[in-house]
């Protein structure tokens, strides 16, 4: 028996299809994202799969013309950028003051904090994540600004243990700024070119965790890294060895046959709290964290690098994660507007 007013099943299905069709045909509110990226970053980030999905979701990416005043362009809902220099920072700041409703990804002064490896890890040093099934540390490190001949003495005075990882102090987006060197003996350290950061090398089973953060979303992938260094190697090997970029030197380690104790991802509660704390402390929404697990432990991790607007094109499902993030920015803006 059918209740009065109830549609026949076939009619009900017909109405559902009609309703769905109408909802699809309704024009979406378009989200305009103005972007200012280097040609290299544009190629790696604005892949066809991202642009097609974005278009289907009502998101349009528009290139910002760097030869015209930014204030004369748009209107934009979001400004996405990764350019360096005081002039550009001033341009973005002026635009932000005139357009407070536009989401700027991300504030230049917050980005600048990650362009110097001396300050990069400051926000990690006093994190207490012991209630999240793990401990997060930073390697002991020191900064060398000049006179390479003084490095052996400075290292001895600081009490740093060999081997040491040497990285350029300034991160300026060039391949050179992502180079690193592994030094096995103190005297070879004088071959290095300051300014640089020296970090104690932590054995980690040759696997690094890249933690991508896009707003509230977190994605973790494994990458091959430098192998463990034995005490015998430290006593016998001399010299400084160069690595162009450790985490991109090999393919993803996600599908490799790894020792489970090495391959196990950091616990989700730890990742969630780490991401939440760093978002707040850094004032950034687009960054990634390079983290390693100390070999022989289950829950002792070290953050060794933080990068602004990393190579998201290498992150699985990045097009879905990023477009969802952009739409969430608009929902938050609409919610705030309605509450006023």
Q: Which residues line the annotated binding site for ATP? A: 117, 167, 199-210, 225
The residues facing 170 across adjacent strands are: 116
| Residue 84: DSSP 8-state | -
Residues 6+ apart with CB under 8 A from 301: 134, 135, 136, 137, 266, 270, 291, 292, 293, 294
Instruction: Show binding-site residues for Mg(2+).
Output: 290, 305, 307
Please check whether residue 112 is in contact with residue 85, taking contact to mean a CB–CB distance below 8 angstroms: no
Three-state DSSP state, 338: helix
Spatial separation of the C-alpha atoms in residues 28 and 31, rounded to whole Å:
9
Instruction: Show binding-site residues for 1D-myo-inositol 1,3,4-trisphosphate.
Output: 41, 82, 178, 210, 307, 311
Please check whether residue 273 is in contact with residue 132, taking contact to mean a CB–CB distance below 8 angstroms: yes
R_g (Cα) of the chain, nearest Å: 24
Instruction: Show binding-site residues.
Output: 41, 82, 117, 167, 178, 199-210, 225, 290, 305, 307, 311
The residues facing 182 across adjacent strands are: 165, 241
Classify strands 164-168 and 180-183 as parallel, antiparallel or unpaired: antiparallel
């Amino acid at each position: 028996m059918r209740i009065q007013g109830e549609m026949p099943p076939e009619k009900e299905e017909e109405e559902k299809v009609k309703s769905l069709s109408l909802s699809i045909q309704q024009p979406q509110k378009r989200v305009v994202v103005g972007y200012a990226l280097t040609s290299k970053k544009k190629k790696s980030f604005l892949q066809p799969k991202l642009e097609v999905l974005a278009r289907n979701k009502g998101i349009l990416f528009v290139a910002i013309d760097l030869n015209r005043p930014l204030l004369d362009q748009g209107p934009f809902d979001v400004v996405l950028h990764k350019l360096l220099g005081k002039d550009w920072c001033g341009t973005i700041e002026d635009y932000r003051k005139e357009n407070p409703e536009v989401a700027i990804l991300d504030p230049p002064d917050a980005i600048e904090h990650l362009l110097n490896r001396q300050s990069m890890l400051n926000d990690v040093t006093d994190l207490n994540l012991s209630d999240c099934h793990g401990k997060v540390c930073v390697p002991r490190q020191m900064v060398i600004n000049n006179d390479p001949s003084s490095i052996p003495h400075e290292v001895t005075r600081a009490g740093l243990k060999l081997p040491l990882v040497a990285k350029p102090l300034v991160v300026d987006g060039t391949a050179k700024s992502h180079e690193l060197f592994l030094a096995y003996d103190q005297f070879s350290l004088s071959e290095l070119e300051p300014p640089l950061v020296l970090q104690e090398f932590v054995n980690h089973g040759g696997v690094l965790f890249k933690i991508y953060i896009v707003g509230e979303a977190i994605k973790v992938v494994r990458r091959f890294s430098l192998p463990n260094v034995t005490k015998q190697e430290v006593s016998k090997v001399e010299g400084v060895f160069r690595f162009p970029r450790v985490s991109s030197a090999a393919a993803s380690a996600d599908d490799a046959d790894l020792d489970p104790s090495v391959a196990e991802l950091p616990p989700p509660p730890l990742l969630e709290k780490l991401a939440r704390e760093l978002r707040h402390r850094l004032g950034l929404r687009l960054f990634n964290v390079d983290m390693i697990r100390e070999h022989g432990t289950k829950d002792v991790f070290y953050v060794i690098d933080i990068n602004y607007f990393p190579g998201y094109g290498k992150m699985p499902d990045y097009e879905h994660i990023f477009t969802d993030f952009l739409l969430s920015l608009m929902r938050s803006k609409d919610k705030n507007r309605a509450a006023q």
